Amino acid sequence: MKDKSPILIALLGVVIGVLGTIIVGIAGRQQKKAASDKDWSKLNLVLQQVRENYVDEVNVPEVTEAAIIAALSKLDPHSLYLPPTDLQEAETDLAGNFDGIGIQFNVPNDTAIVLEVIAGGPSEKAGLLPGDRILEVDGKVIAGVKYPQDSMVRRMKGPAGTNVKIKIIRDKEPVVFDITRGRIPIHCVDASFMIGDTTGYIRLNKFSATTYQEVFIAATDLYRQGMKKLVMDIRDNSGGYFSQALLLSNLFLGQGDNIVYLDGLHRKREEYKADGKGAFQDLKLVVIINENSASSSEIFAGAIQDNDRGVIVGRRSYGKGLVQEPLYFTDGSAVRISVARYYTPSGRCIQRPYNGGGQEYQMDIYNRYLDGEMFSQDSVKTDTTDVYYTVSGRTVYGGGGIMPDIYVPIDTTRATDFYVKCNRKALPVKFSSEIFDKYKARLGAIDNFGDLENFFENINIPAAFLSYAAKEGVYAKRGEWDASKSYMMPYLRALIGRYSKLGQNAYYKLFLPVDDTVTVALTAE
């Protein structure tokens, strides 16, 4: 790794000399009048000369930020500059809570439909209900105008204690709610339930400040229901707090088991071990990963694999193993500098190579599709010269990311023309919304899987969906529905089920029968 401290000095010089912003705890540096190629004040001097001599007025903050971004881009893909807004969003996403009105919504037909009203939150207190369609936020029309979903979220969010007017339509009648925003919890456990008598399932979407607590509570509840084996699903989990990865690993590992170590040019090697106090050391464990499992997810999966503590199922993980340390500026922005790398207990570096430059690195997942890695284990590019061993002596390979013990490809055999056309128009999602409108009172009151199954038995979903698709101009050719229904029916049931009080638990549990990776995980030992 190249020496990064000179780059950092240059960046600090830019901010101090040009922007006049002071980094907390770092003294100002004296500017030099001349600079050589090896003198890191050169960038500072150039920008100062631009400000003093350039032919037109210079937007100093804009130029300064551009210089910072350009400098960091020469380091690695994960050292970056975060403007105040981006920094706030990034930290809010991992904090475990945010200020807002407390709803989850979906936008199937260019109109936001409330899926869930968070218990005890501002929206529940005001009277919003699942199925309400949001027309306006503070007088701004957001329905039927292709309003961006992220912009909807930003309009509804705001400091706790402030008010926002939400206009909805319910039973064809418009209603306006004056809602006082409050502190809303962000849950990282999407779903938690039993699969059969002895197997539990937990879906974890991120490593936030509440991850350990949420997983511990969920796993304890499943254990009381008779769980002897846990399937921990961390697919599409992009990571988060390092400390939470350590705590989660500690739940399952024995005393003295290595979890991870950090090493860098300017950072002494730091090793982290389990303390032996984890509550689930004897529980059978299967961890599901995929190409979007990154960072803290890979630390957890690597620790479980290298200690032979459980079975890893799925596809090769993302390969993000650089340690970032933040430097905060008084204007609310920050830079995150990579200072070390994460290594699994066997010594594998989690970070995949990035020598090919930013574009090649960003295209890696796409290239895995082109190379066939997502569809065939034989197409996986394994560096067989980069060999490591688990505690029992099993061979594992480096090269970046975590390669699962059991590979599961993406299944493309179900993709009939009818299925592809339906998904292209998002018909399953739109259909589930229409079913909820039709059976709102009944479906919205269901709070257990038995009643949900009874509900499905009394409505003819195949006939209703085929009729709905036809009205949208999509027709199933002879034999297409028979070829597609084994996959589409669980998906339709899952989408409809999440409108019940079971929420995401219903979605994931009802979709499991056609989730090939979970099917493999259930038989893995």
Cα distances (angstroms) measured from residue 74 to each of 16, 210, 323, 333: 21, 34, 17, 20
Residue at token pair 């339709």:
492
Q: Report the catalytic residues.
A: 295, 306, 320
The pLDDT value given to residue 92: 65
Name the burial class of residue 153, with classes exposed (0-12), middle (13-18) and buried (19+) by CB atoms within 10 angstroms of its CB.
Answer: middle
Computed over every residue of the chain, the mean pLDDT equals 87
Type of residue numbered 198: T
The pLDDT value given to residue 88: 74
Q: Residue 170 forms beta bridges with which residues?
A: 173
Q: List, for residues 247-294, the tens digit of each pLDDT value.
A: 999 999 999 999 999 999 999 999 999 999 999 999 999 999 999 999
Cα distances (angstroms) measured from residue 2 to each of 108, 264, 266, 340, 356: 48, 10, 10, 12, 16
Instruction: Set out the domains of the chain in order of their start, with CATH numbers.
Output: 5-75 (no CATH), 97-185 (2.30.42.10), 189-324+343-407 (3.90.226.10), 417-522 (no CATH)
Per-residue pLDDT of the chain (525 residues; tens, 9 = 90+): 444 444 343 433 433 333 333 333 333 333 333 444 556 678 888 888 888 899 999 898 888 888 888 888 889 999 989 888 777 777 766 666 678 898 888 887 788 988 888 777 888 888 888 888 999 999 999 998 888 888 888 889 888 899 999 999 987 888 899 999 988 777 899 999 999 999 999 999 999 989 999 999 999 999 999 999 999 999 999 999 999 999 999 999 999 999 999 999 999 999 999 999 999 999 999 999 999 999 999 999 999 999 999 999 999 999 999 999 988 988 888 999 999 999 999 999 999 998 856 778 888 888 899 999 999 998 988 888 999 999 999 999 999 999 999 999 998 777 789 988 998 888 998 899 889 889 988 998 999 999 999 999 999 999 999 999 999 999 999 889 999 999 999 999 999 999 899 989 999 999 998 999 999 999 998
Q: List, for residues 153-202, the tens digit of each pLDDT value.
A: 888 988 889 999 999 998 788 889 999 998 877 789 999 999 999 999 99
Between CA 287 and CA 275 the distance in angstroms is 21
Dihedral sign for Cα atoms in the order 288, 293, 297, 298: positive
Between CA 123 and CA 182 the distance in angstroms is 9
